[in-house]
Amino acid sequence: MSQVFSEETHRNLLARIPHCTGREVADWLRTVEEGPALRFEEKVSWLRHEHNLAYGHAKAIIHEYDLRRAARKLL
């Protein structure tokens, strides 16, 4: 079962991603966009194994990607 992060924890994880990975969040979001079409946890696993990310960072990136994609659909 996946762990649920609060909004504050999500924002804190996103803020740390550039420092921990050397890449900006926008770059990671492009990587997800260009990556395989998978379900949420599969995308998290893909980021972890293909890009050697920690679980929390991978989950925060995928969650942010889904939030932004949903916001685009509402416009």
Say what the pLDDT of residue 5 is.
80
Mean pLDDT of 23-33: 97
**Residue 45 parent element (H or E):** helix 40-51
pLDDT beyond 90 at 18? yes
Per-residue pLDDT tens digits for 35-65? 999 999 999 999 999 999 999 999 999 999 9
Query: Band of the pLDDT at 1, cuts 50, 70, 90?
Result: very low
The rounded mean pLDDT for the chain is 93
**Residue 46 parent element (H or E):** helix 40-51
Say what the pLDDT of residue 2 is.
53
